[in-house]
Every structure is written in C-alpha cells, then in structure tokens.
Chain A
Amino acid sequence: GQNIDQPTEMTATEGAIVQINCTYQTSGFNGLFWYQQHAGEAPTFLSYNVLDGLEEKGRFSSFLSRSKGYSYLLLKELQMKDSASYLCAVIDSNYQLIWGAGTKLIIKP
C-alpha cells in the first residue's frame, strides 16, 4: 500500500527553527508537495520538490532525498502565525496525489 508518515504534533518556540519530517512509501514518485493548513481553513501551497536537494523560499525550506523516501520542511525564525498543520503529499506513478495526515505545529511565545 501507499503510505506517508509525519509526526502528529510538534511544539516549538517563537523565533526558533523547526524541522518537520515526512517519509513516504509510494508506487513511484513524481514529486512532493508541502502545504500549510490553518485550523478550519483550506490548505495553501508552500513548496514542491522533484529532484534531490534543498529548495529555499524565504523562511521556509524543503529538502528531498528520493533514495531514502524522505523529505523535511524547515521553518526558520518562527512566528506565532506559523501555528498550523503542515501536510506532505506525494505524486505517485499514476499522478495521484497521496496525502499525509499532517503535522500540527504549535508555536509558544
């Protein structure tokens, strides 16, 4: 079966750095997305990785290792507004998007 694993919940301090991990086992791989979802709202696109390495976008960076079936989202200089769920999603060989359940990130002052 296809599976995406993320920690259920993480806590971090305002101003700090946090890394949210995602591991996947899918039938094929055509890319990986990270989305942010605030409580009661729709997901919004953060990043897309298809090649190994780090993609940096402001305070957010996303890393991919295809050989390890592993990605992480790195959030720097955390702000209270970063409190949200972060969903990892993988495109499989049939171009289906397989979603993780998300990691709820709690930021404390």
Chain B
Amino acid sequence: DAMVIQNPRYQVTQFGKPVTLSCSQTLNHNVMYWYQQKSSQAPKLLFHYYDKDFNNEADTPDNFQSRRPNTSFCFLDIRSPGLGDAAMYLCATSRDRTGSYEQYFGPGTRLTVT
C-alpha cells in the first residue's frame, strides 16, 4: 500500500542534543510537509517542499531545519532541542499544494526532551 512512513515513532533526546526525524513516502507526491503538534492544539506548519523548492514558515525557529534529498525522503533536524520542542511531529504529503488535494499524514514521531 502507498503510504507515508515516519521513523522513529518515539524519540527521546536530551536538552541541546541534535536530533533528526525522518519521513518517507511511496505516493510519489510532489509536496511534503512538516508539522509540529502539541496536545489539544492545531498542527503548526514548520515548512514544506514543493518538489525541491523549500518553503519556510515565517515563525519557524532557526533551530529547525529540513532536507529533502529526493522525492521520497524528507528529514527534520532540530539542532538544539529545548523543553518546549517536545511535541508530536507529523510529516504529510499531497499531490499538489493547491485546491482539493488532501494531505496524507504519517503516523507521527513523538519527541520527548529530557
């Protein structure tokens, strides 16, 4: 089945220790998104790629970086995690970024910062 895969599902890191979350997709979608979601809150878009074109949200902290080495893979790097970065990180894809194309989500990575 075509899908969005995230690894790991649970990640524990220490305060200030860099961490990388990964996402892969077999849907061959052009757009990949990274969201941060805290409990009972809306998903917050961090960035998205339209093909190789990187789009950073204005309020995404510099501490967060992303890479998309090819169509299938996308990585989220948190350079120096703080306690406030503990959250669920969701990767999503869509065929295009306009109109009626729904986003398909991976299962998420729950990040704990100790």
Residues of A within 8 A of B (CB): 4, 8, 30-31, 33, 40-45, 48, 50, 85, 87, 91, 95-97, 99-102, 104
Contacts and interface: CB of A to CB of B under 8 A. Distances in A.
Interface of B: 40-45, 88, 90, 92, 97-100, 102-108, 110
20 contacts: A30-B98, A31-B100, A33-B102, A40-B88, A42-B90, A42-B92, A42-B105, A42-B106, A42-B107, A45-B104, A50-B99, A95-B97, A95-B98, A97-B45, A99-B42, A99-B43, A101-B40, A101-B41, A102-B40, A104-B40
Contacts of A48: 100, 102
Q: Chain A: interface secondary structure?
A: loop
Contacts, number: 50
Contacts of B88: 40
Residue picked from A45, A97, A102, most chain B C-beta under 10 Å: A97
Nearest to B91: A42
B43 to A, nearest CB: 5
